[in-house]
Structures are given as C-alpha cells and as structure tokens.
Structure 1
C-alpha cells in the first residue's frame, strides 16, 4: 500500500510573516518573501487566507479588525479611507470593533463589496491620517460619520469622551460637520455639539443644560466651573456665583459607585466652607421629572438670593 503524499511544506519565511503581521499582503508581496510557488502553497494550505481580490492575511488574523481593515484599504486603493465606526475604533474612541468595516471612497466609484464592508461614496475631500498603518479620516469626521452607525448612547459617549480628553474641541467637531453637507441625524449632532460648546460632559448634563436648567432663573449659571479648595480641584456642573449655589447631575452609574459617593460628599463639604450650597439631581429626577427639578432649583436660587439681599425674582 502506497503511503499518502505528505502535505506541501509552507516556506517558514512566509509562515512567520503571516503570523507576525495582521496586515494584508498582495500575492506579489508573499512571493517576494520566497517564490511564487511558495506563495501559492501558503494559499492552498490555508496559511494565507484571501479576504478580497489580491488581499491575503494570515489565517490566525483573518477574523480580526486589523486584518479586515487592511485588506479593505488594499482592495479599494489609495483614495479609500476608513470611516465612521471603523475609524473610531482605529482612533481608540470605541471599546469594541464594529462588525462592518466602514470606508469612504470617491463618488464616481461603485465597488461591489461583501456584506462585512460598508462603502460610502462622497464628493467631500477628507484629509487622510495614518493610524496604526491604516488610512483613516480625522477623529472629528469619524465621530460625525459614525454617529448614525452606532446606538445613540454609544455615539454620544464617544463624542463626550473625545472632548473631555481634549483630543479635539467642539469647534473642531462643528467644522467637520459643516464640511459635510449630507450627514445622517444632523440635527441630533448639532444639538450635541451645542451642548458640548456649553460645557456638557455627558448625556445627562446635556439634558440638564439644554432642556431643564434654562431660561431666566438660570441664565447666569457658569457651566463646568472649577474651584480649588484646600488644595483639591473641584469641578462644578453648574454654578450660580451670585447666590453661591452649585447644581450637580448624578448619572445612573453613580448610585452603584461607593467611591463616587464618598468623593462627592467630601467635595460638597469642602465647597460648603466657602458658603456654597450643593443641589444634587439624580438621573431619574432629570429624565422623569424635569419640571420638578427646574422648579426646585429656581426656588432655592430665589431663597438664597433673598437671604443675601440680592432681590432676584
């Protein structure tokens, strides 16, 4: 009985390269590591996986974001840029890789892409930035374009964190939005950018700023006001300097965080040494009974104004 033929041996130079890098290779790049025959052997044996025409990746990386994004950009050419949620992940602005690779190309192109690629055709010339060997749109453009791809809370949180971490400014976001005439959910993004410009650091603060604590009683509120007391930096969501009244909005996660309770209790005591009274409104209060929050805050401001002889209406 004849022994079966042994499986073809993969050239170790190609095998190591496919393991070492999650980036994609063209056939010629694989062949350049050894020979055309060795490149074909790597493909036949499954060591190199073809994701797209002339885009091969190591089998161990084939399901990864890095490999799929690299293959997509190779396939679509130099004018293609990662966009939306894919660009946000490349910018470390999302915690989980998106299921689909969003990519922007020129409006004259009509590529037939597989389901795991989302192609957007655009006339808007967007700058190209290299991020981890991938061509991506700038962070501001990614936040604007990715907004409609993501659940609202995830998209909003990405914007808040980018501004809070000073990776960009609300003005930069506004400029990116103005540069793109056709953007899904534009009104929502505009309201969010307005809230960021006003100093909101979270969805809850946005609701408080834009919908609850507005109008005459609150027109003099300072947003995100910083105080230093006993050497500690204290950030106040909203502060009425005339009556020395601070107003804080506590998010849903706050109640499950004992450390946050302790830190904020200490802070409230510290600012009280300056004669500042702190009003705290919970997530449930702001969302379920905004009129009550508004009425209570206005009442406290009136009382404290009267006590201090300010004569505020």
Structure 2
C-alpha cells in the first residue's frame, strides 16, 4: 500500500473515507490498494483495512457486518457524514446496555431529508426532525448517539421478548435515567410495537420495583386482599449504615426480601445478609426472605406465609 495512504488508514483506526483519502493521494492509489486486497470498500466511499474484516459467515454477508462492532459503528458514521447518528440497538450498545451479536446490523437515525437510506448491514430509521445536538443527540465514547431515554424506547421492540426488560431496569438502577423520563420518551412513540408491556414495566419501576423478581412478586404475590401497602426500596438508616428494603410493611415492621437466583448457594452473600438482618432486628424490623425458586414455584405458599407473619406481628403490636 502507498505509504501516505497507509498512514492515513492507520490514523483512522483502520478506516478511511474516500473524500479524506483523495485529499492526499490520487484516486488510482485507492483503487490499486483495493485491487491488491489491502483495502475493502465496506460502505459507499468508506474503506477498511482488509485485516479488520472477519471471514464471512455467509456468502452474502455485507462487508460492514464483518467488522468488529466498534469499527462498524465508526464506518457507518463516516458513511453518513454527519447526516445521521447511532440509534436503536447500536446506540444501546454504546450506552453499555446491550451486547450485539456478531454480524448484527447497525442502526442509524437520520432526518428524512438527509438522503441517507438503508443498505445491506445498515438500517436507517428516518424521522421528520433530528437536532444534531442536545437534547436529541449526545456524545458517548466519542460517538454521536440518541439520548438514553429515546434509545431505550426505540430499542424495545427490536430485542427478544426475554431480553427487553434488562436494559431498562439496569438504566434505572444505575440512576442514569428515571421511570418518569422514560415515560415522557414513550409518550412520543405512540405507535411503538409492544408499547403496553413497556408502559407496564415503567409503572412497576415507578412504584419502586427494581428487579424482574420484584415485579413478579408485585404482580402475583404481594398485592391483593390482606396485603398492606408495602413501601418499596424503603430507605432505613441504622447507626452509620443506610439500607434499602425490598418490601417494607411499616405498621408491622416487617421487611420482605426477595433473593435472586444468583444469590443461591453464595456463602459470602449469605453472611452479608445475616449481618444485615441482625442489624435491622436491633431497631425492631423482622426480615423475612424468600428465594427466587420459592417465589416463582410456590407463589401461593409464599403469599400465605407472608400474611401469617404480618398477622402475627399485628397481634403482638396490638397486644
């Protein structure tokens, strides 16, 4: 490869747009590098060093889909030339909330008037208007992406049903967004597929649920006749320590803790839980724990036991 072109490709992290290359070398130099198998056109007017491309999984695999996800995203943005930004699953990956499968299509959002069209390996979502900066677009890891709330809403129907909730729950738990901000973003997408399910999830998160297990419990076990209005993620301070209780029955001073499947058999976590439970006991709070297995497999038994514990505590308090 021509030394000047090689330096340009290396500076671009293995990528070079044609317009940039032609500023320093003649067009025949680029064509010769392609004929020699040193450069591959991965998108119109965007070239990549051949060693960056993985072997094709199928004969019709687009060249851009053979790049690693980060390089592919940069290639798509170079092709868009400022007329589009990363969105949907591609933006979700940049936000650190999704791991794309090898060869997955890249997603851009662009104004309808921008002239950017879907092509093999790149899905372009066209919108009427798109502000190139805040609040519509932010820079994340040096790349322009749709803001987090819009990204989560846009990506929702593109994920497998079993995978949809996790990015939303994690973003709320990490405090990078709130259920209320996500509700506002959802209001702007009235035709979103599976919209009702996302609205239900956001409602549960707004009520204080912070995991799929808590949502399961809220909907199937810890509501209905006889159940008090639990405070979810109730903040309790004991001495110098602040704790958040999964489900706190204030009158009965009972904390219902829902232990996820990952904690089963974890002796270290068990020791931490025992110390926490003992500390809460010093201020009169009884901790009752239910495992993921029991909550999912024996919901009626868990409900009966919870009601019995609450009734016993009320009897003691009234006596």
Q: Scaled by the length of structure 1, what TM-score is found?
A: 0.86
Residues 239-258 of structure 1 mapped to structure 2, 5 A cutoff: 239-258=248-267
- Structure 1 residues 140-219: aligned runs within 5 Å: 140-219=149-228
* 1:111 corresponds to 2:113: no
Aligned twin of 2:5: 14
Q: Which residue of 2 aligns with 1:93?
A: 97
Q: 1:306 to 1:23 in 2, by over 3 A?
A: farther
CA RMSD of superposed structures (Å): 2.4
Change (3 A) 1:33 1:272: farther
1:120 matched to 2:125? The reply is yes
Instruction: Describe the SS at the equivalent of 1:166.
Output: coil
Q: State the 1:24 CA deviation.
A: 4.3
Query: Unaligned stretches of 5+ in structure 2?
Result: 54-66
Aligned to 1:3: none
Alignment check: 8 A CA contact 2:77 2:84 kept? yes
Change over 3 Å in CA distance of 1:95–1:302 after alignment to 2: same
Partner of 1:270: 279
Structure 2: how far apart are the matches of 1:60 and 1:174? 44
Shift of residue 204, structure 1, vs aligned partner: 0.7
Equivalent position of 1:59 in the other structure? 50
TM-score, normalised with respect to structure 2: 0.84
Equivalent pairs counted in the alignment come to 300
Q: State the alpha-carbon separation in 1 of the partners of residues 304 and 129 from structure 2.
A: 47
The whole-number CA distance in structure 2 between the counterparts of 1:95 and 1:257 is 27
Cα 1:15–1:271 change in 2 (3 A) is: same
Which of 299, 311, 317 matches 1:290?
A: 299
Q: Deviations over 1:61-105 (max 9, x none)?
A: 341112222222333453423222111101112245662212233
**1:82 — aligned with what?**
86
Q: Contact 2:80–2:116 (CA<8 Å) still a contact in 1?
A: no
| Uncovered stretches (5+) of structure 1, i.e. residues with no partner | 1-9
Per mean C-alpha deviation after superposition, the further-off stretch among 127-136 and 266-275 is: 127-136
Following superposition, the deviation at residue 170 of structure 1 comes to 0.9
| 1:82–1:102 contact (8 Å) kept in structure 2 | yes
Aligned to 1:70: 74
Tell me: CA distance 1:291–1:309, structure 2 relative to 1, closer, same or farther (3 Å): same
Shift of 1:42: 2.9
1:43 aligns to what? 34
